[in-house]
Chains A and B, each alone.
Chain A
Amino acid sequence: NAGVTQTPKFRILKIGQSMTLQCTQDMNHNYMYWYRQDPGMGLKLIYYSVGAGITDKGEVPNGYNVSRSTTEDFPLRLELAAPSQTSVYFCASSAGKNTGELFFGEGSRLTVL
């Protein structure tokens, strides 16, 4: 199993550009999450989803959008990129609400210049 796969691994954007970070998992997990991690800090939850067609905001959702059309995929959309969105983004999945065992992807490092 590949687990949680994120693409791209690295990306440089100009201010105002938009892009989508892709995340897919092959474990048939219902729950999926997007976190961001700024240098020297812990992770902050951006958005999460409890199943296909259901998404909700986390702690820091401003400037981002998500969709969940399938169980496997949970893309994160950045609209009008700003320097404050320079960060490492992690996608994760879990089997359900009764478990705190999350499986994380390897991360996507985004720089906005």
Chain B
Amino acid sequence: DAKTTQPPSMDCAEGRAANLPCNHSTISGNEYVYWYRQIHSQGPQYIIHGLKNNETNEMASLIITEDRKSSTLILPHATLRDTAVYYCIVRGMNYGGSQGNLIFGKGTKLSVKP
């Protein structure tokens, strides 16, 4: 899997948009970008994923640059409950071996402040 680079930490004011960047300059054409988050010591939670088009769901929006070398996860109105570590992961589809072997790096620790 391609490696990703994320800032170790970010702060965001409650009610404002949180924009979490991720670089994945070595991503290949059939690899998806996934975002997960981990609140305190809980199990990671899937947020969203995309290939090349921007994606939106009830939790967040994912903006992928045209060259696919970077992406941004957007939490439109961050709340205190969004304080968590956010993981950006690149994963291919339809490959053998360790299917679903999501490689979790250290992620970005987002602190939402009142």
Contacts and interface: CB of A to CB of B under 8 A. Distances in A.
Interface stretch (B9-17, B62-70, B99-107): B99-107
A102 B105 contact: no
A100 B100 contact: yes
Contacts of A43: 44, 102, 104
A102 B100 contact: yes
A42 to B, nearest CB: 4
B99 A50 contact: yes
Contacts of A105: 43
B89 A100 contact: yes
A94 B100 CA distance: 8
A48 B101 contact: yes
B43 A45 contact: no
Interface in B78-114: 87, 89, 91, 93-94, 97-107
Interface in B38-52: 41-46, 49
Contacts of A74: none
22 contacts: A35-B104, A42-B87, A42-B105, A42-B106, A43-B102, A43-B104, A45-B98, A45-B101, A45-B102, A48-B99, A50-B99, A58-B101, A59-B101, A97-B99, A100-B34, A100-B91, A100-B102, A101-B49, A102-B44, A102-B100, A103-B46, A104-B44
Interface residues of B, number: 26
Contact of B44 (A44, A90, A94, A109): A90
Contacts of B93: 97-98, 100
Contacts of B44: 43, 90, 92, 102, 104
Contact of B43 (A40, A42, A92): A92
A100 B32 CA distance: 9
A107 interface: yes
A7 to B, nearest CB: 14
Nearest to B90: A100
Contacts of A12: none
B107 A42 contact: yes
A45 to B, nearest CB: 5
A106 B43 contact: yes
